[in-house]
Amino acid sequence: MSRVVTVGAAQLGPISHDEDRTSVVDRLIVLLHKAAESHCDLVVFPELALTTFFPRWYTDEVSGHDHYFETEMPGPATQRLFDTAKQLRIGFCLGYAELTPDGERFNTYVLVERDGSIVGKYRKAHIPGHEDNEPWRPFQHLERRYFQESHEGFGVWRAFDGVAGMALCNDRRWPETYRVMGLQGAELILIGYNTPMHYAPDPDQNALQGFHNHLVMQAGAYQNGAWVVGVAKGGIEEGVESLSQSAIIAPSGQIVAQAVTSGDVLITARCDLDLCSRYKDTLFDFARYRRPEVYGLITERKGSIPPLELDASDAPGLTHPDMAWEEPK
C-alpha cells in the first residue's frame, strides 16, 4: 500500500494586534480550500497561528496578554476550522497560545486527523527570549514571560498512515528535538515558527536567519530519515519583520517545496513516507550504529563545561574536568 501523504504548508502573513479570531480563521479556511484543490491530506499552519506574535510586547502583569490565549480547542472561534477541515477530509496542525484551567500558559500545537479527531497536542519545550522587559531592544521577545517550558517531551503519534511528531519554532534549532522523535520512528515532523529577522543579542546573525532556518531543518530531516515541514508566520507584523521561507524537506535533506513570498500562501508536496526507510534502514540504522553508551552527557549535562585550564606542568595528563587528579607516585 502506498503511503504518500500530500502535505500543504500553509504559511501566514502578518496578523495585526486588532485582527479578531473570526478574520484569522477566515484566512485559515481559505487556505484549507486551496489545500482541497491540491488534494492535500494534511495542512500545517504556523506557531501562534490565531494571533499576532504578542510576546514582542511587555505587560506589567503576566495575565496582560490573556486575551490572546485559547481556553478550549476547538473553541467558539475555531470550531468552524475543525468543521470545514472535516468536511474536506483534510487533517491539520494548528499553533496557538493555550491557557489551561489551572492557569498554566503554553505555546501549543494540536494535530487533527482527517475525520476531525484530535491526534495529539504538543507544548513547546525550548522557550527562547527573556522574562523581563529589556528596553534596549527595538522589540521584546518575552516568550519566557508568557509561556512555561513544558516537561512532556517530544511525543509521536500514529497518524496520516505513518508516524508524526510536532515541534515549535526554537525547538527546530536543537538536534535533540528531532533525535528524540527519530528514536520513536518519526516519519513526519511538523514545525511552525515565528522568527524575527532581527536578533538583538547578536545582529550579525540577522542576515543568516534564512540560512540557519533551512540548515537545522534539513539536517534534522536527513539525520533522522524523516520528512520535515517548516511553516512560517512571516512578513512585517506590527513593524517587526519575520522570516518566511516555509519549506517541505525530504528525508534526504533536500527541500522539495519552498514559499517564495511572505504572505498567506500554500505550498504542497507529495510526501512518500516509505522514502524514510531509505535512510532509517541504511546510514542512519539507529539500532545498528548508534552508540548511546558514549552519549551520556547529552542527558546528564545541561550547560557546556570546558576542561579546566591548567598549566600543563601542574597537571600532566589531566584532560577532563570529571577526571580526579592524583598525586604521581
Q: For binding to ligand CDT (CB under 6 A), which residues are involved?
A: 47, 128-129, 141, 169-170, 173, 193-195, 199
- What's phi and psi for 70, nearest 5 deg? -100, 135
Distance in angstroms (rounded) separating the CA atoms of residues 177 and 311: 39
- End-to-end Cα distance, the chain: 69
Distance in angstroms (rounded) separating the CA atoms of residues 258 and 9: 9
Question: Does residue 74 have a cis bond before it (omega within 30 degrees)?
Answer: yes
How many helices (H) and strands (E) would you count in the chain?
A: 8, 14
> Which one from 70, 124, 233, 276 is the annotated catalytic residue?
124
Residue closer to ligand CDT by CB (options 45, 279) is 45
Could you give the dihedral angle defined by the CA atoms of residues 202, 206, 208 and 214, in that order, rounded to the nearest 10 degrees? 110
Residue nearest to ligand CDT (CB): 169
Question: Which uninterrupted H or E stretch holds 23?
Answer: helix 21-37
Contacts of 77 (CB under 8 A, 6+ apart): 21, 22, 25, 50
Q: Is 276 a catalytic residue?
A: no
The minimum distance between CB 201 and ligand CDT, in angstroms, equals 8
The minimum distance between CB 16 and ligand CDT, in angstroms, equals 18
Q: Which residue has the cell 607516585?
A: 329
Q: Is 40 a catalytic residue?
A: no
Residue closer to ligand CDT by CB (options 124, 280) is 124
Residue closer to ligand CDT by CB (options 206, 277) is 206
Distance in angstroms (rounded) separating the CA atoms of residues 250 and 275: 8
The minimum distance between CB 12 and ligand CDT, in angstroms, equals 14
Q: Is 47 a catalytic residue?
A: yes
The minimum distance between CB 97 and ligand CDT, in angstroms, equals 12
Residue closer to ligand CDT by CB (options 77, 197) is 197
Contacts of 118 (CB under 8 A, 6+ apart): 73, 110, 111, 112
> Which one from 40, 93, 169, 276 is the annotated catalytic residue?
169
The minimum distance between CB 193 and ligand CDT, in angstroms, equals 6
The minimum distance between CB 100 and ligand CDT, in angstroms, equals 20
Query: Judging by DSSP bridges, how do beta strands 91-99 and 42-44 pair with one another?
Result: parallel
Residue closer to ligand CDT by CB (options 98, 187) is 98
> Which one from 40, 47, 187, 233 is the annotated catalytic residue?
47
| DSSP 3-state of 91 | strand
Residue closer to ligand CDT by CB (options 27, 126) is 126
Query: What positions carry a catalytic annotation?
Result: 47, 124, 169
